[in-house]
Amino acid sequence: MSSKRYLLAIETSCDETAASVIADDFSICSNVVASQAKLHERFGGVVPEIASRAHLSRILPVIATGLDEAEIKREQLAAIAATDGPGLVGSLLVGLTAAKTLAAAWELPLVTVDHIEAHLFACRLGAGRDVFPAVGLVVSGGHTNLYRCLSAFEFELLGSTIDDAAGEAFDKAARILGLPYPGGPSISAAAANGDSAAIDFPRPMANSDRLEFSFSGLKTAILYAAKGHPNGTPAPPLTEQRVCDLAASFQQAVVDVLVSKSAQAIRQTGKRRLLLGGGVAANRSLREQLGQQAERDGFELIVAPLEFCTDNAAMAALAWEQLGRGAVASLDCDVRSGLVRKRRPQKLTGRR
Ligand code: KG4
Ligand code: ZN
């Protein structure tokens, strides 16, 4: 019988209900993700109330499938892990409550996992070796944050978006162009048949020294380019080719900003390694162009494996590192909606 130890991780921070069994050598024994994309599609974005109800009906089958696929019995588990934030409160509550219940019933330690830290820890799963210290860029539907990462838990926020997140901008742009939700993959597919130089979209914050992002102006720019300007200037007809050109030009503007701010963060911090995680990290152009920038500037780029970019529970493998430090959560811990304790590197307390 294997001497490995296993933990069950649960992730429900947004609109994916996910469970994974992870061994203590970080091998992923199962990775189950039930997507709610179909439920939110007609709204063009995640509706929190619908998300939490869908988590409720899916959480138990997803956990059962996670254990079945890993062929792991509960007696073999050493801990239960769950995301406690940041994310949608109603969604987080479903996963964390399920985890607390199992931890209490099976008399196992509970470990709470930070969703942002987990997105960057996904890079560790692909690399198969330690990836810290580094600069970390998390680009998702809810976040566009640059960090100085001293370790898997000690993050200093260098800058973030002052309005929309990059993934949110992809989702809104797709809606404007009549492309399906989630917008990232559909913009990326349309962009493959378009000309990225067709429309000269702005590169917001590109000339600022600050490591901040802004995507709401870009969203307005694509709205006007697609539907016409409020001053009466009409837009060219929204033909299939025009949609592809708009998608390609929009994607290039987002990628340019993400690449240039990442390079700026590397220069400013003196770090030689960049980690890229989060749903938008699945974008092929971003992965390729950041890779080219890394080669030009001589830093190492580690991108989360594709399967661990969008929300999943496998990236909560981070919980093993926390267990190693004795960071067990209390059963009366709560969820966190926003980014807290991210301003300065923090040492773990008894709770985490
Ligand atoms: O990390 P994630 O699954 O959820 C959050 O934590 O927010 O990220 C979801 C976001 C969505 O906005 C989606 O449109 C975007 O990631 N996304 C992409 C791609 N795949 C997913 N954006 C650009 N290109 C992609 N290929
Ligand atoms: Zn996420």
pTM exceeds 0.75, yes or no: yes
For ligand 1, atom 1, the nearest C-alpha belongs to: 279
For residue 277, which of 115, 82, 160, 122 has the smallest C-alpha distance? 122
CA of 278 to the centre of ligand 1 (A): 7
Residues contacting residue 48 through CB under 8 Å, at least 6 positions apart: 88, 89, 90, 91
For tokens 């994309």, name the residue: 37
Question: What average pLDDT score do residues 121-147 get?
Answer: 97
Tokens of 58: 């899916």
Distance in Å, CA 48 to ligand 2 centroid: 15
Query: In the predicted model, is pLDDT for residue 302 greater than 80?
Result: yes
Summarize the chain as % helix, strand, coil (round to 5): 45, 20, 35
* Annotation: CATH topology of 6-120+309-343: Nucleotidyltransferase; domain 5 (3.30.420)
Q: For residues 121 and 159, what is the distance between their CA atoms, to the nearest angstrom?
A: 19
Q: Which residue lies with its CA nearest to atom 10 of ligand 1?
A: 141
- 303 known ligand binder: no
Q: Where in the chain is the domain with CATH 3.30.420.40?
A: 6-120+309-343, 129-305
User: What is the reported pLDDT for 44?
Assistant: 83
User: Tell me, what's the pLDDT at 292?
Assistant: 98
Q: Which ligand is in closest contact with the Cα of 37?
A: 1
Q: What is the mean pLDDT of residues 165-187?
A: 96
Tell me which of 139, 308, 310, 311 to substitute to probe ligand 1's pocket, judged by most ligand atoms within 8 Å of the beta carbon: 310
Q: Which residues line ligand 1 (CB under 6 A)?
A: 14, 140-142, 167-168, 170-171, 182-185, 188, 278-280, 282-283, 310-311
The string of pLDDT tens digits covering residues 219-272 is: 999 999 999 999 999 999 999 999 999 999 999 999 999 999 999 999 999 999
- Tell me the pLDDT tens digit for each residue of 281-297: 999 999 999 999 999 99
- Mean pLDDT value across the chain: 94
Q: How far apart are CA 215 and CA 201, in angstroms?
A: 11
Please tell us whether the domain made up of 129-305 is placed in CATH 3.30.420.40: yes
**% of the chain beyond a pLDDT of 90:** 92
Mutate to test the pocket of ligand 1, among 170, 179, 290 (most ligand atoms within 8 A of CB): 170
Ligand 2 center from residue 77 Cα (angstroms):
25
- When pLDDT is cut at 50, 70 and 90, the band that residue 101 belongs to is very high
Q: What is the pLDDT, as a whole number, of residue 340?
A: 56
Which is more confidently placed, 301 or 3? 301
Please give the pLDDT value at position 339: 67
Distance CA 214, CA 280 (A): 15
State in Å: Cα 168 to ligand 2 middle: 12
Residue 350 in marked binding region = no
What are the tens digits of pLDDT across the range 12-68?
999 999 999 999 999 999 999 999 999 999 888 899 999 999 999 999 999 999 999
What share of the chain has pLDDT > 70, as a percent?
95
